[in-house]
Amino acid sequence: MTVATESIELTILGRVYKISCLSGQSDALKAAADGLNQHLNEMRQRSRGSNNEQLAVMAALHFCYELGLEKASNRKYSETMDERIKMLQQTIETALLEQGRQLRG
């Protein structure tokens, strides 16, 4: 089975990049490139002496940091939901056992 791809052009910091992506994902990729451009331009305004390579590295570090925070948040949420599900299962099991006792008794 062949996965359909398409070629698109993205402009980041004034440079054009031609890349391939899965068909149907070009709009999301273009939106991501727009967000990256906006972030890089904001960084450029704050740190006037930075070249494109420094900006790209700082942006990558920033995004990795944000991703790490989001992963930790998702992990904590998942653990909380697992605990709640276990409590619900125990409550249901207890209620079923109690109902069984009442029907027998």
Q: What's the confidence (pLDDT) of residue 104?
A: 85
Task: Please provide the average confidence, as pLDDT, over all residues in the chain.
Answer: 93
Query: How many angstroms separate the Cα of 26 from the Cα of each of 8, 13, 30, 47, 73?
Result: 7, 19, 6, 31, 29
Give the separation between CA 46 and CA 58, rounded to whole angstroms: 12
Contact 20, 6 (CB under 8 A): yes
Span 77-105, pLDDT tens digits: 999 999 999 999 999 999 999 998 888 86
Predicted local confidence at residue 5, as pLDDT: 92
Q: CA-based angle 96:93:78, to the nearest 5?
A: 145
pLDDT for 60: 94
Structural domains of the chain in order of their starting residue, each with its CATH number = 5-104 (3.30.160.880)
CA separation for the pair 48, 1 (Å, rounded): 49
Q: Say how many C-beta atoms besides its own lie within 10 A of residue 40's C-beta.
A: 18
Token code pair at residue 99 = 């109902």
pLDDT band at residue 25 using 50, 70 and 90 as cut-offs? very high
Share of the chain above pLDDT 90, in %: 80
Summarised one tens digit per residue, pLDDT across range 38-58 is: 999 999 998 877 898 899 999
